[in-house]
Amino acid sequence: MPKELKEEIRERLEKRLQEIGEPDLIDKIATEEEATTTEELLEFLRKVGHPALEMEPII
């Protein structure tokens, strides 16, 4: 997600994540500062324990 977009929606996103019981998820969303390649993204997701890694593939 672009950092600018993440910051623009941060307040609304934090509120919603609190409501669904996932308040730390916002810190698990990568921006271009954390990853610019798929390899970097996967490394970041593993490092932060992103829940997407536990999901069934959709393809």
C-alpha span between 36 and 19 (Å, rounded): 30
* pLDDT tens, residue by residue, 43-58: 999 999 999 999 998 8
What's the confidence (pLDDT) of residue 48?
97
C-alpha span between 45 and 51 (Å, rounded): 8
Number of H helices, E strands in the chain: 2, 0
Nearest to 2, CA basis, from 35, 24, 48 = 35
Look up residue 33 and give its amino acid.
E
Nearest to 20, CA basis, from 49, 51, 47 = 51
Each residue's pLDDT expressed in tens, for the chain with a length of 59 residues: 999 999 999 999 999 999 999 999 999 999 999 999 999 999 999 999 999 999 998 88
Predicted structure pTM score: 0.83
